[in-house]
Structure 1
């Protein structure tokens, strides 16, 4: 694995990231690890443990911005200084640029205000829940508030939200590539594939 593979994102002009050790694509971390393969392995182990803890004891909150930030902080607290902090770089993958870092907080507040107005999807039948959730997840993914770990934080946040609505979520019930392609498809506001994925992961339909 190359150093570049660990960053997973591109930046304007391929300038030095404030999140990486100088002249590398390796995230600055609390353990001082500069080998990308070792860092990735340890990251997987540490975050798996934290996510397992959250599975047993879901993070309590009001399902706003702070709730999401707290989930990210919990998952990545052992490794990254940016755990629970909104990113300060504008990034993209492939041809998809995520929200300009200057507007992340504003867009999160708008999205969560809309969620609150929708009563957090409580009381919706499964079809309505899937449709509303797909739209919400697509928007949250495009905001992409963190420098790394967006997927894990968003999935755990949504699992907690689903529990509030009476639905049990198991992300392993959908294929990872299918889910990734659904999010890519949703970039152009086509949420049908993401609706299918949300339906797939609900255990108690």
Structure 2
């Protein structure tokens, strides 16, 4: 079943893309073109902010995806305020909890010592926030690459394995701060790449084409007020808080 939070895929295409295209393979190619052509502008905008905020997250997504999505730069609190969203077995933050999750990650992630010690934890909180209906991973990696560069290192995304990375990320989202993604990313830590060279490096990353190797796509779990949906969401939060 196609991801259709707006409920108008038949007439407006996947997520109301500007081409009104319904074929997901075509949409993903359009997304990737929008992303790769917008990276330089996104990095230029981020360079202007000494300290990144939630507004920078929204702005970055807008720059990267405004060529395909009219709602680019608007988070799920605006575009799908009443829906719980998942991808595969991973349930993401509900709309009202997106900003707190992202702001926590930005606050901790801009502590340079903390980011160097726990890069996967920070990336995991950014991913759990899942602010947008699509384009989350690419937006997050763009932001993360900037705060990592400022902390004195870079991740060699081109050397990562898409399936292994997404597996570690899934574990990190389910059970944060247990080292799942830290352990995976540490093998790809390199000397910092200049912002001018980050675009070429990120474009080579195997995991940033918007497709999941397992074939999982975003899915609407249901209305956040529905008892069964609330039960699933609360069970997810309990697992995230467990210490064992």
Structure 1 length normalisation: TM-score? 0.76
Aligned residue among 148, 160, 177 for 1:174: 160
Deviations 1:55-105 (A, max 9, x none): 6x4623221111111111111011102211111232002222111112222
Q: Aligned match of 1:39 in 15, 27, 41?
A: 27
2:141 paired with 1:155 = yes
Picking from 95, 105, 115, the partner of 2:99 is 105
For 1:1-205, list aligned pairs within 5 A: 4=2, 7=3, 16-18=4-6, 20-22=8-10, 26-51=14-39, 54=42, 57=44, 59-60=46-47, 61=49, 62-87=51-76, 88=80, 89-115=83-109, 120-122=110-112, 124=113, 129-186=115-172, 187-189=174-176, 191-204=178-191
User: How many Å apart are 1:54 and its aligned residue?
Assistant: 4.5
Query: Relative to structure 1, is the Cα distance of residues 112 and 52 closer, same or farther in structure 2, using a 3 angstrom cutoff?
Result: closer
Contact 1:170 1:203 in 2 (8 A): yes
1:110 Cα deviation after fit: 4.0
Partner of 1:11: none
Q: Secondary structure at the match of 2:139?
A: helix
Q: Deviation per CA, 1:30-63, whole angstroms, max 9, x where unpaired?
A: 23333333222222222122225546x4623221
User: Which structure 1 segments of 5+ residues have no match?
Assistant: 8-15
Residues 79 and 166 (structure 1 numbering): CA distance in 2 closer, same or farther, change over 3 Å? same
User: How many residues in Structure 1 have an aligned counterpart in Structure 2?
Assistant: 184
Which shows bigger deviation, 88-97 or 190-199? 190-199
The CA RMSD over aligned residues, in Å, is: 2.6
Q: Do the aligned partners of residues 52 and 172 (structure 1) sit closer, same or farther apart at CA in structure 2, a change above 3 Å counting? A: farther
Listed as ranges, the gaps of 5+ residues in structure 2 are 193-244
Q: Is the 8 A contact 1:19 1:27 kept in 2?
A: no
Structure 1 counterpart of 2:232:
none
* SS of the residue 2:20 aligns to: coil
Q: Per-residue deviation at 1:113?
A: 3.9
| Alpha-carbon distance between aligned partners in 2 of 1:79 and 1:154, rounded to the nearest angstrom | 18
Distance 1:170 1:177, change over 3 A: same
TM-score, structure 2 normalization: 0.65
Higher relative contact order (CA 8 A, sep 6+): 2
> Would the aligned equivalents of 2:62 and 2:74 in 1 still touch at CA under 8 Å?
yes
